[in-house]
Amino acid sequence: MRNKISKEQFCNKYGELKDSLYRYALYRLGNPDDAEDAVSDTVLAAWQSIDKLRDEEAFSAWIFSILRNTCSAKIKSLIKRREKLEKAGIKEKLNKESADLSGASLSLEIREALEILSDEERDIVLMSIVAGFTSKEISEITELTAGAVRSKLSRSLSKMRDFLS
pLDDT in tens, 31-63: 898 999 999 999 999 999 988 888 888 898 899
Q: What is the DSSP letter of 131?
A: S
Q: Kindly report the number of other CB atoms within 10 A of residue 95's CB atom.
A: 11
Q: Note the CATH number of domain 107-165.
A: 1.10.10.10
The answer on pLDDT for 102 being more than 70 is: no
| Signed CA dihedral, 122, 127, 132, 138: sign only | negative
| Chain-centre distance for alpha carbon 130 | 10
Question: In the chain, where are the structural domains located?
Answer: 1-105, 107-165
107-165: same fold as 1-105? no
Q: Which of 69, 74, 73, 75 is nearest to 142 (CA)?
A: 69
Q: Does domain 1-105 have CATH number 3.20.20.70?
A: no
- Give rounded-to-5 percent helix, strand, coil for the chain: 80, 0, 20
**Average pLDDT in the chain:** 81
Can you give the pLDDT at residue 30? 82
Q: What percent of the chain has pLDDT over 90?
A: 32
- Name, of 28-32, 40-44, 107-111, 127-131, the range with top average pLDDT: 40-44
The answer on pLDDT for 21 being more than 90 is: yes
Measured CA to CA, the distance from residue 24 to residue 35 in angstroms comes to 8
Can you give the pLDDT at residue 1? 39
Can you give the pLDDT at residue 83? 64
> Minimum mean pLDDT among 1-10, 14-23, 28-37, 142-151: which range?
1-10
Task: State residue 109 phi and psi, 5-degree precision.
Answer: -65, -45
pTM: 0.65
Please give the average per-residue pLDDT across 116-128, as a whole number.
89
